[in-house]
Structure formats: C-alpha cells, structure tokens
C-alpha cells in the first residue's frame, strides 16, 4: 500500500495570508490526525478526524481548522498566518480503532 502523502511539501507564505494543506491517508484508513512540529514546542497535536467528524482537538487557536472528506482525505487550514505558525505540519493516519499512527513526510510552512 502507498503511504500517507502530503501536499505541498514546502510552502512560503506571508503574515496575514491563509494556507491549506492536504493529506491523503493510507488506503482503508479512516482516521487522520494533524500535528505541528516546531523547534520550540516540539510535536503538538492539532486535531483528529474520523469518518468526516472531528473527534479530538488540541490546544490551538480557532485560526487552525480542518476537515475530512468522504474519501478520508483531509485538509488543514490556517487563517491569518503569524510568524509563529512556521513549522513542519505532519499528518498521520490509522485504520479505525487501531492504535498505530502512520505519518506522512510533512509540509514545511515558512511564514515571512
């Protein structure tokens, strides 16, 4: 099976803009989670979607939002970008209630 794919891999935006990141899970996986990785804060959980419903949410402001489509693909949106949003955004998928998450290569976002 193909692994988790994320697009784009690299992105440069300016403050105040918005951005949408995409994640395609492993075939058959219905759960998609998003994580932010920064040198200062490490790896932090953003949110998880399962069958198009948000099941869990981390401690991030409302500027961070997501959605999941019927084919399990997920998008993450960040509005009104701030310099501190520069990070590697990782997507992970898992099959139903199994515990193992499989990560994609990430999207590196740079906000100028």
Partner 1 sequence: AQSVTQLGSHVSVSEGALVLLRCNYSSSVPPYLFWYVQYPNQGLQLLLKYTSAATLVKGINGFEAEFKKSETSFHLTKPSAHMSDAAEYFCAVSLTGTASKLTFGTGTRLQVTL
Please, what is the minimum distance in Å from the beta carbon of residue 112 to partner 1?
20
Distance between CA atoms of residues 69 and 71, nearest Å: 5
Closer residue to partner 1 in complex, CB, 50/64: 50
Residues at the interface with partner 1 (CB under 8 A): 4, 31, 33, 35, 42-45, 48, 50, 55-56, 58, 90, 92, 94, 97, 99-106, 108
Are the CB atoms for 81 and 17 separated by under 8 Å?
yes
Distance between CA atoms of residues 78 and 67, nearest Å: 12
Closer residue to partner 1 in complex, CB, 16/109: 109
Distance between CA atoms of residues 52 and 67, nearest Å: 7
Closer residue to partner 1 in complex, CB, 39/62: 39
């Amino acid at each position: 099976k193909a692994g988790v794919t994320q697009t784009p891999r690299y992105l440069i935006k300016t403050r105040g803009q918005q951005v949408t990141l995409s994640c395609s899970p492993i075939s058959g996986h219905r759960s998609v989670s998003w994580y932010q990785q920064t040198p200062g804060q490490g790896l932090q959980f953003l949110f998880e979607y399962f069958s198009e419903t948000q099941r869990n949410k981390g401690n991030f402001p409302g500027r961070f939002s997501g959605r999941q489509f019927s084919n399990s693909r997920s998008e993450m949106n960040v509005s009104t970008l701030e310099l501190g949003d520069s990070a590697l955004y990782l997507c992970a998928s898992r099959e139903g209630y199994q515990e193992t998450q499989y990560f994609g290569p990430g999207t590196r976002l740079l906000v100028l």
